[in-house]
Amino acid sequence: MKRVGLIVVNTGGGKGKTTSALGMMLRSCGYDMKGVMIQFIKGSWFYGEKKSFIRLAPNFKLITAGRGFVGILDDKLPRDEHKVAAKKALDISLKEVRNRENDVVVLDEINYAVNLGLISEDDVIFIIEQKYPSVHLILTGNFATEKIIELADTVTEMKEIKHAYQKGKKAQIGIDY
């Protein structure tokens, strides 16, 4: 059966957008597929997926192109540094979506990068248009634009019903990061 690469968008204010993309990568790994996740925002903090990708090698690799979460309490970087990192992530993404050896490409937190003004919606649309036809492309992050949603084959919106932090519970290793 000839594979037709899908465009999948995981968006919304609830938890699980990146986790869903990782699940799809794990599933595809079971079929000996290959791919990459490019992280647009995440940077210097340690989080579980950094270590997990070692276990998926050589099928999957993780490229952390971001410089960390933008505009949060401990972000001391000038906004221009985040923009440069996002541009670098775009360049890497273009190369990876055109790479015929990839089966799955995840652009993690790319919707946030657009919403924060680090890259443009047109940049993302260009990446989508340049994708090799058999590559599955997964875009994550809240605030997916209407145009990006329109271009997607599958869109899932994660909706928060309640979260542990509302009860004063801090983020938990292995569940939240």
Spatial distance between the Cα atoms of 51 and 35, rounded to a whole number of angstroms = 16
pLDDT band at residue 75, thresholds of 50, 70 and 90? low
pLDDT band at residue 45, thresholds of 50, 70 and 90? low
Least confident of 79-93, 96-110, 146-160: 79-93
- Quick check: pTM over 0.75? yes
Quick: pLDDT tens for 113-145. 999 999 999 999 999 999 999 999 999 999 999
What mean pLDDT comes out for the span 13-29?
94
Rg (CA), the chain: 16
In a domain, 171, yes or no: no
pLDDT band at residue 70, thresholds of 50, 70 and 90? low
Structural domain of 128: 7-12+24-158
CATH number at residue 132: 3.40.50.300
Number of domains observed in the structure of the chain: 1
Q: Counting Cβ atoms within 10 Å, is residue 16 exposed (0-12), middle (13-18) or buried (19+)? A: middle
In a domain, 92, yes or no: yes
